[in-house]
């Protein structure tokens, strides 16, 4: 696979590397990265494989995605281990990366996901079907796409999030690899076996108070893999924690940075 697309935020040396969730892209973390830049921390925001401007792959696995991220960290940030931050799908990629290549990272923030089966991912199936059901050859614009999606996706905020993936480059196309993602929903929901390994450096488990992905009992699973884990429950936040309460997330990440080696 060729390199992953990435956006840099801030003039300071990179302290954080961000990984988005399903249907997302690195820019989803721009507000958080800008808040951290004001505190003197640079960030790099990655588009994961099959998302954003990054390459598509023939198959999906968390191990392959984590390996691609680790390769980018080695190539871009040699000698300066960042804190890796991952949300949802990106959180699982981040956990696998930290567990398999712990020397690459100064710390880890896992945002609203845990190392177990995530049955909630099945709710993305109708979104994928609705997106794939749009005839892009006759599409007149994003307003037309929004109208078509509304038949299946009632929430306008969710529709707008999905439509950030629609691009016109001499013809409309979806940036994510919808065919592969639809076929890979079971793998996306799963947690792969990684063996008896741990990541010993500072780790924050940042979860939304109102998120259906947050189960308090999963803290024991986090402690199994991440002995130094600290749970941070973000008030007034659902699954998209960083959008629902950005100030609290910035504070949590700044505190993690203070506790992590440089």
Question: β-strand 107-111 against 203-208: which pairing, if any?
Answer: parallel
User: Are 86 and 15 in a shared domain?
Assistant: yes
Q: Residue 1: inside a domain, yes or no?
A: no
Residue range 35-84, pLDDT digits in tens: 999 999 999 999 999 999 999 999 999 999 999 999 999 998 877 899 99
- Give the chain's domain count: 2
Residue range 230-247, pLDDT digits in tens: 999 999 999 999 999 999
Residue 55's SS3 state is: coil
Cβ proximity of 39 and 95 under 8 Å: no
DSSP codes, 199-246: --S-EEEEEETT-TT--GGGHHHHHHH-TTEEEEEETT--S-HHHH-H
User: Are 66 and 150 in a shared domain?
Assistant: no
Number of DSSP helices (H) and strands (E) in the chain, helices first: 11, 9
| Residues belonging to the active site | 88, 179, 239
Rg (CA), the chain: 18
User: Are 200 and 147 in a shared domain?
Assistant: no
Residue range 115-165, pLDDT digits in tens: 999 988 888 999 999 999 999 999 999 999 999 999 999 999 999 999 999
Cβ proximity of 118 and 189 under 8 Å: yes
Query: What residue numbers bound the domain in which 155 lies?
Result: 122-183
- pLDDT computed for residue 128 by the predictor: 95
């Amino acid at each position: 696979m060729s390199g992953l697309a990435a956006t840099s935020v801030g003039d300071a040396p990179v302290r954080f590397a961000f990984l988005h969730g399903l249907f997302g892209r690195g820019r989803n973390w721009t507000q958080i990265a800008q808040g951290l830049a004001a505190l003197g921390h640079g960030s790099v925001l990655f588009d994961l494989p099959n998302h954003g401007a990054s390459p598509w792959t023939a198959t999906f696995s968390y191990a392959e995605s984590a390996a691609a991220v680790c390769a980018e960290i080695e190539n871009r940030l040699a000698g300066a281990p960042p804190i890796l931050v991952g949300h949802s799908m990106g959180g699982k990629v981040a956990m696998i990366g930290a567990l398999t290549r712990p020397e690459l990272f100064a710390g880890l923030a896992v945002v609203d996901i845990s190392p177990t089966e995530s049955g909630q991912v099945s709710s993305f199936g109708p979104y994928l079907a609705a997106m794939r059901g749009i005839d892009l050859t006759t599409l007149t614009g994003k307003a037309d796409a929004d109208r078509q999606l509304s038949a299946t996706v009632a929430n306008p905020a969710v529709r707008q999030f999905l439509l950030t993936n629609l691009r016109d480059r001499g013809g409309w196309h979806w940036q994510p690899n919808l065919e592969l993602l639809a076929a890979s929903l079971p793998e996306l929901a799963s947690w792969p076996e990684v063996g008896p390994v741990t990541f010993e450096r500072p780790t924050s488990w940042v979860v939304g108070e109102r998120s259906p992905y947050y189960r308090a009992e999963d803290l024991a699973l986090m402690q199994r893999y991440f002995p130094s884990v600290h749970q941070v429950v973000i008030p007034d936040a659902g699954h998209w924690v960083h959008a629902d309460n950005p100030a609290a997330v910035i504070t949590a990440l700044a505190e993690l940075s203070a506790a992590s080696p440089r």
